[in-house]
Amino acid sequence: MKQPFLIDFDTKGEPEKGILSVIESGSTIPFEVKRMFWLYEVPDLEERGNHAHFTNEQVLIPMHGAVRILLENTKRKKFEFELHRPDQGLFIPALYWHKMQFFDHAALLVLASNLYNEADYINDYTVFRTLKDETNG
């Protein structure tokens, strides 16, 4: 079973002049990016997500503010991350239930491995709890 992990992006520049971070599909992140979207103007402490994906993988990158991400896999293992640096992202594999809580007027960029497909979403936590990851053996 794949595990979530933090990714530190290559950066160039200096705080006095500005910093550039670089992402390369298939190299910096472990999949080809097929979709990008961002969430912003989410009220502080508002919770988003509350779903999982059957096949879609994502990398979440905070462009501003902070986002707390709570994850749970099909084996009931839980993970917690707080993202607050635009030069660091979080890889979320498929079959991870995720909740996101926004702080400090956060803006979050999401890179996805698949195009939008409503059938890929698992929106019912009770259904998610019944799933088994076939890669578990």
Catalytic residues: 51
Q: Which two tokens stand for residue 25?
A: 């599909």
- At 134 the three-state DSSP class reads helix
Q: Is the dihedral of CA 26, 29, 31, 35 positive or negative?
A: negative
Element (H, E) at 129: helix 125-129
- 46-76 burial, b for 16+ CB within 10 Å, e for fewer? eeebeebbeebbbbbbbeebbbbbbbbbbee
CA distances from 69 to 13, 29, 52, 65, 72 (A): 29, 18, 13, 13, 10
